[in-house]
Structure 1
Amino acid sequence: MTDRWAVLRVVEQRVLWLATAMIDHANRVRPRTDGLKVGGHQASSASMTTIMTALWFDHLAAGDRVSVKPHASPVLHAINYLLGSLDEHYLTTLRSFGGLQSYPSRAKDPDPVDYSTGSVGIGATAPIWGALARRYIGSRGAATGTGRQYSLVGDAELDEGACWEAILDPMVAELGEVCWIVDLNRQSLDRVVPQAAATRLQAMFEAAGWQVLTAKYGRLLTAVFDRPGGDALRRRIDDMSNAEFQRLLRCTPQELRLRLPDSEALSNLVEGLDDSTLTAALRNLGGHDLQTLGDALAAIDDSRPTVILAYTVKGYGLATEGHPQNHSSMLTEAQLRELADRVGMSLDAPWARFTPDSAPGRLCAETAARLHRTPARVQSSPDVPTDLGRTPAGTSSTQASLGRALLDLTRQAPAVARRVVTAAPDVASSTNLGGWINKVGVWSTDARRNWFDDDPETILHWRERPTGQHIELGIAEGNLVGLLGELGATWSRWGEPLLPIGVVYDPFVERALEPWSFGIYAGGQSILVGTPAGVTLAAEGGAHQSIKTPSIGLEQPGCVSYEPAFAIDLEWTLLAALSRLGRPGGSSAYLRLSSRPVDQALATVPPDPAARERRRRQAVAGAYLLRRAAQPPALTIAAMGAMLPEALAAADRLDALGVPADVVCVTSPGLLFAAAQARTGQGSADTWILDAAFPADRAAPLLTVLDGHPHTLAFLAGVHRRPARHLGVTSFGQSGALDAVYRHHGIDTDSIIRAGLDLT
């Protein structure tokens, strides 16, 4: 077998078989006791088989990276198996514990996966941010090589707004290495998409500056178009609805001869075709024709992003092809045997590879050698200092302190600062990054003139250059955290660690949460700063007042959350978060900051170096005892973030009323919760912080207060099992002065005092 396309066709059929059999084994063969469906998406995998065969075995280079649509995961594993990068025993473990994951996972799958996917729209956009991340570290001299960034996207996936937010970002139009291949099978999970959308999609991509290529018809169907009456057939197929086309795929040749013609010319053409040619031609779309796909891939213009609209049939090559309810359907054993016979395989030996001396076997070996990558050697980051040595004075907010801490880092730990890259969705100046940006500049692939450099009233100097360390995106929080995830993965992709920090308005953290969480799942380590937070942003009203984010920070896996009350706490926790980035076993962090000015003297930072270090360790671990009552306390007030001034004022007044109160400053409810769980044998966190912040000999009724949902700190009542009350925000806010808004939500000083008196 020497014909290139014939060899590729044999490989394509083997990939189809392996993906289908893998899913069949997981659902029909592997024993199950729980009665739950396993699934695996045979039809969605079949839709992508030709595209992925053409890409891997005929076009990919070692430097290319591919994001595979979630429901084509079995196809990826089948290809990796044929290339020798997946052991045979894994083929029987799809969706089993410790086996092949339901969707491609960089962190959990045993075979090569470039991008984790599974959350629709997020995996599709990841290669865009991967391209930016590679360009960024490449501009710093890192040896990243070259290569395209492919996204294999289902057409229904383009309904997700995340896709279009990314496509329309101004930075994306320059990324010529980005290529999306759209599996245009015109079906979603439940139905056939009612209206043809290809022309609309083409116009939308073109409007965004993308090159649009189309693989609509295969060679067989194109040859039929060249016959007399072929123009009528092309027009008939082009004009028919998606649903009608799908219905024709389910028809017998006799039914096709009745349903398809709408003119004498077309009737004559159809009558002149034998049954096998007629049925094969109708489903010979470009996305299932290796040569048509090869022509499209060869036509990619690397000067701008490209999208290839590849027309396909969902379930192509299976007995379920084209059926509107085939998304979750499974082949019967009889149907699977028929497929095995057709592709030269057997249910008795379902996992056979090609023999090494066969033409397909040689192609697999050649492809494996071509795509081999030498694992990246991870460079170690410079050690992050634990303390910059400054004791903030005067009045300041934690939001303002972020910018100062970054500037201090450039002076006192320049090697660390050079690894820092900040990003924002057009909110850099309003979140106090202006000084940092003036110092380090804005990153761009080429130096650009700043036309306002000589304007004496310009405070923020927007100097764009390849050496800049701030990346500014458009107003889309999903894009920001998508970029953070990829900047935070450069250590594992190319061995070059970065320390990425993204700044977003805290009310919109929830909008960014899903893609950020998915980035953490995929191994991206970053710091997300939400600021300003809570109803403390009083004048902005309920639409801009975040109340659930403290709980979100506590609950997010792979993330340490902090809500510092004072500038020194912000500095310490930021440095601790930076020290966890860009390394195996590292983690992300979420910092919830406030724009409320606070008297820094309230922090009472110990002047003694040993006592200062003790305070720092406790602040980084989750909490510290800020105010000790002069006598055994009748009450413990545990407060967080912007609420510390009210908590301290309430403690003073309660003491005057004969109710001595300790005040604990909570910096991380998540770390405290982990410690509380470990104390009962759940988890392995250190528990010393509970003894340090809540000493048993000072146990008293507990009052918690924060600018967020009160359940965030409610678990602290279990530390000593004392009576407790929990103050916080449980309703949408409204505009007003700070005292009025606090009073409305019951977190003002008077409310704290009343709750404390009720407890004692």
Structure 2
Amino acid sequence: MKTDKKKTGKKIARDTPASKPIDYSILNNICDRAYFMVLRMIDIANNRPEIGKGEPKVGGHPTACASSQHILSAIHLVMREPEDYFAFKPHVSPMDHALNCLLHNFRTENNELFSTEQRKLAMHHLRHYSSEGEPVFQSYHAEADPDSFRYFPSGSVGIPPVNALYTSLGYQFAKDHKFTLNEDPTFWCLMGDSEFREGSLHEAMPDAGERQLGNLIWIVDYNRQNLDGTRMLNEKALGGSDADRIVRLAEANGWTGVKLQHGKIREKLFKKPGGDEFQRVLEKEFSDYEFQAVLSANRPELTRKVLIEKSKKLKSWLEKYSDAEVHEAFSNLAGHDLECLITAFKEAKIDRTRPTLIVAYTIKGRGLAVQAHSGNHSAMPEEEEIREIGKTLGASYEDPFADFLPDSDEEKFLVKRREQLLTGINEIISEVSDKKQAWLEEAKTIQWPVDFDIAALKFNPVAHTQWMWGQIAAKLDRLARGDRGNKEGSPDNGWGQVARFFLTMAPDVGSSTNTSTNMNGKLYGNVGQKDFEAEYGAKDNRAPDVMPHADSRSGHIRFEIAEGNCMSAAGSIGKFFHFTGIPFFPAMTIYDFFIKRAHDQFYYNLYWHSSFATIGTPSGITLSSEGAQHSWKSDFQIPNCVTWEPCFAKELEWILADGLRRHFTKEDKNRESLLIRCVTKGIVQKEWLERLKKQLRFKTDSSVVLNLESAKTSENISDAEIFEIIRQHTLQGGYALIDYRGYEDYTAGDNVVHIFAMGALVAEAIKASDQLLEKGIYANVFIVTSSDLLLSNFADLNNYEHLKVGLGISGNIYLNKGAEVSSQSEWLSLQGGRIPILSVHDGEPGLLDNIGSIVGATQKCLAVRKTSKSGTTSDIFHYHHLDAEGIIAGVFSVLEMVSKESFQVAKNLNLNLELP
């Protein structure tokens, strides 16, 4: 059902080329010059003197750039507004750089425009490593590029257009929630026809249609080729060409579908007497494969012959035209006709309630010797061909990146276009910069709480981390929007000042991941229908009210079972501070196993430094009865993300509080994202503090020697002091829950083992430690809250300081002997040993299997090494040897391993010991 047009921000009125009469000869000359710049840019990159033997190819995709050159020229030279966004297929990035070079749209990191020499230098450095700070371009669109303003990184096909889609949704959400945005951008996306088979694109299309994202324009560069060659489709089975299928798909998903096939030369011929037969033959008699074969042959006499074979009626009609004219008309595709493109783009911007998909027919390698050749994807034109193209255009081979001459019509056009475009971009950069600075100043005034003061925890002696997530999310929602939006949220404390920027989302698992409160009457959207459940008294009061609302009461974005969509939305909205100065923080819940379904999108978000939280819950084999196939937990270890796996509920409070504080104060460089893994298995909460209080470090008298009885009765420092120490250690990746250091009979290297446990398996580690103590073995239990911070990339930055110093884990050899050492021979016979390590966790071994190698100690890693089954947690932990019994067996195994270690002295070592 169609709904009213969406509200837009206050549009800044600008004098643009699209609003004036257009001289297409000037635009075509600029387009041709830009493509010549592309050829030289790629040629220079592939012929650098420093490229050694055996180096991989440099590449650059000149044929793909030829395919898209007119599409990109129409956008950059005419249609583009300063606030617009771009998600273009990776292979055309050199064409973007060339057009932006002519527009002088290169900037430093401080947003200062490049000089002429800087622009030329950058154009010489495609796919070059900047060793001395010189400007360079990455292989594909990247934030590091000097022309990256509002470009989506494009290295992964099928993903950037979806991020553009959900950035559009973010704008819609921001405006419906009364955030100030003085712009109404268009989101331009360009993709290949083979790329359009990517499932990520198809999965997202219904969302754009339903949500009426009318500022979204997807363009398919329909050149009928992919990397491996000419595309060959069963058009009979598809009911037409792939272009026909794509247009039908768009219309079926609530988009406007446009098939842009014929250029102006063709259209003029169609209007002449007999021209309708020429049109019919082109549209009905050629499969894409046959059409491509004629283009590839590139023989005008053959083109005439084939056309006449298709229709005898054309023989006399074509006699009026030369072979060259016939071949020109045959090759005249709309994707290379600026007038056709600009007309279609203008029409696409009229209805801001319906996204548009345009299939633009193009030719890969157009104008090159390898035009339309099946294997031209990686083809490189020779120097002679490039020189000839430059000569035809009057462009310099030696100085290819120069502007047009000052008195030329092309340069006069570009001067006006630069003024309009660069002035507008500078205004946006300045406005967003001011908003960012204002927010950061406000953030400095906030008294950031270290937790969320979840009172319900006191009344839940057995709680699980997914429950705690729901409590935190619900509290932030109440602070932002009140109870079902009926009363104002509270701005009276730290979280109340930022809660309005917090939003949740889920791919059809919100209610099963304890996010129901955030959903109940607070779903964001507009389905264009009345609330019939309310009208007919059919509301299910046991479930959240899922009628969406496009207003400030809403704070949860609901998705179908489309994990990739949800992940892309989280990443896109998580970039809003970067793009707009609005510090949104999206948190999505997803069954942890199904993060893999969105792994490409997840990596894209992290590469892009997006700020968001992924709550992977439930996770691992702890799913137990629901587990089996859905229980594998992967070790991602991707830069810019900290993976957490709390055990006790309070840990999750601290983790989320710290993550939000870092986000809102922008103290999150290179750790912008959080992956928090939760479970639905409860753990006794009071045992936490009881265990901590038995440690020597928390006694008021640190010189006392403890035993099992005195540990219970000796005086402790305050609970608040204990919690603060544990909070700090939690946020560094881990802490000691059971620590017998300082106990009598505790003999390192003899009867001591360190157990490192993570998540739900901490409870099993506690049981094992207690049973081992009965056998005379002191098993310290360390809780790992973040393997990334304690053992992985982040820990490597400071040489694993928290593990080694904070937790005191080492590979030291402890020499033990019952009697006093009185001779050199006795010294040599001393028995020495390290404290062995046993780790236990629910997930791939790589999460915790490197502790021993870091400190130089023997380690045994208990982890999930096979697919799981359904059953109780006791059954499943036992099946994987991760229960207390398995841990105890593992401890004895690792103790046996270290018992076989021997202390040896080199024969040539001269020991001169002065023993008493």
TM-score bucket (shorter structure): over 0.9
C-alpha separation in 2, matches of 1:676 and 1:289: 52
CA displacement at 1:742 relative to structure 2: 1.2
Alignment partner of 1:700 is 2:835: yes
- 3-state SS in 2 of match to 1:662: strand
The one-letter amino acid of 1:315's match is G
C-alpha separation in 1, matches of 2:395 and 2:848: 60
| Match of residue 373 from structure 2 | 323
| Match of residue 134 from structure 1 | 171
C-alpha separation in 1, matches of 2:268 and 2:632: 61
Task: Choose from 704, 722, 733 the match for 2:857.
Answer: 722
Task: Choose from 259, 270, 282 the match for 2:318.
Answer: 270
The one-letter amino acid of 2:228's match is D
CA displacement at 1:660 relative to structure 2: 0.9
Matches within 5 A, 1:466-615: 466-467=551-552, 468-548=554-634, 551-552=635-636, 555-581=637-663, 583=666, 585=669, 587-604=672-689, 608-615=719-726
CA displacement at 1:236 relative to structure 2: 2.7
* 1:469-516 Cα distance to aligned partner (Å, 9 max, x none): 111112111101110111111101111111111111111011112112
Task: Choose from 511, 520, 523 the match for 1:442.
Answer: 523
- 3-state SS in 2 of match to 1:581: helix
Task: Choose from 876, 879, 888 the match for 1:753.
Answer: 888
Matches within 5 A, 1:675-694: 678=796, 683-684=797-798, 687-694=801-808
- 3-state SS in 1 of match to 2:861: strand
Unaligned runs of 5+ in 1: none
* 1:220-279 Cα distance to aligned partner (Å, 9 max, x none): 122233345433332332221222212211232233233332133222333432233222
Q: Greater shift after overlay, 59-68 or 476-485?
A: 59-68
C-alpha separation in 2, matches of 1:94 and 1:334: 21
* 1:545-579 Cα distance to aligned partner (Å, 9 max, x none): 1232xx11xx1111011000110111111112222
| Match of residue 137 from structure 2 | 100
Q: Tell whether the 8 Å contact from 1:125 to 1:162 is kept in structure 2 after alignment.
A: yes
Q: Tell whether the 8 Å contact from 1:105 to 1:113 is kept in structure 2 after alignment.
A: no
Matches within 5 A, 1:83-232: 83-86=103-106, 87-98=119-130, 99-109=136-146, 111-144=148-181, 145-169=183-207, 172-195=210-233, 196-232=241-277
> Whose radius of gyration is greater, 1 or 2?
2
C-alpha separation in 1, matches of 2:540 and 2:216: 40
Scaled by the length of structure 1, the TM-score of the pair is 0.94
Task: Choose from 429, 453, 471 the match for 2:511.
Answer: 429
Matches within 5 A, 1:606-755: 608-629=719-740, 630=743, 631-632=746-747, 634-674=752-792, 678=796, 683-684=797-798, 687-696=801-810, 700-755=835-890
Structure 1 residues 398 and 632, CA gap change in structure 2 (3 angstroms): farther
Alignment partner of 1:366 is 2:480: no
Unaligned runs of 5+ in 2: 1-20, 107-118, 131-135, 234-240, 480-489, 694-717, 815-833, 896-916
Q: Tell whether the 8 Å contact from 1:441 to 1:470 is kept in structure 2 after alignment.
A: yes
CA displacement at 1:113 relative to structure 2: 4.4
Q: Tell whether the 8 Å contact from 1:676 to 1:687 is kept in structure 2 after alignment.
A: no
- 3-state SS in 2 of match to 1:277: helix
Scaled by the length of structure 2, the TM-score of the pair is 0.79
Alignment partner of 1:334 is 2:448: no
The one-letter amino acid of 1:54's match is A
Q: Tell whether the 8 Å contact from 1:499 to 1:526 is kept in structure 2 after alignment.
A: yes
Q: Tell whether the 8 Å contact from 1:191 to 1:325 is kept in structure 2 after alignment.
A: yes
- 3-state SS in 2 of match to 1:580: helix
Structure 1 residues 695 and 173, CA gap change in structure 2 (3 angstroms): closer
* 1:183-228 Cα distance to aligned partner (Å, 9 max, x none): 1111111121113211111111101111112221011122233345
C-alpha separation in 1, matches of 2:516 and 2:587: 14
C-alpha separation in 2, matches of 1:185 and 1:282: 14
Structure 1 residues 170 and 41, CA gap change in structure 2 (3 angstroms): closer
Alignment partner of 1:242 is 2:288: yes
| Match of residue 15 from structure 1 | 34
| Match of residue 255 from structure 1 | 302
Structure 1 residues 37 and 113, CA gap change in structure 2 (3 angstroms): farther
* Aligned-CA RMSD value: 2.3
The one-letter amino acid of 2:411's match is G
Alignment partner of 1:32 is 2:28: no
- 3-state SS in 2 of match to 1:117: coil
Q: Greater shift after overlay, 32-41 or 391-400?
A: 391-400
| Match of residue 708 from structure 2 | none
Structure 1 residues 29 and 170, CA gap change in structure 2 (3 angstroms): closer
Q: Greater shift after overlay, 233-242 or 378-387?
A: 378-387
C-alpha separation in 2, matches of 1:203 and 1:479: 22
Q: Percent identity?
A: 30
Alignment partner of 1:460 is 2:510: no
C-alpha separation in 1, matches of 2:78 and 2:22: 13
- 3-state SS in 1 of match to 2:588: strand
* 1:732-751 Cα distance to aligned partner (Å, 9 max, x none): 11112221111111111101
Q: Tell whether the 8 Å contact from 1:487 to 1:500 is kept in structure 2 after alignment.
A: yes
Equivalent pairs counted in the alignment come to 750
Q: Tell whether the 8 Å contact from 2:804 to 2:855 is kept in structure 1 after alignment.
A: no
Q: Tell whether the 8 Å contact from 1:170 to 1:474 is kept in structure 2 after alignment.
A: no
| Match of residue 910 from structure 2 | none
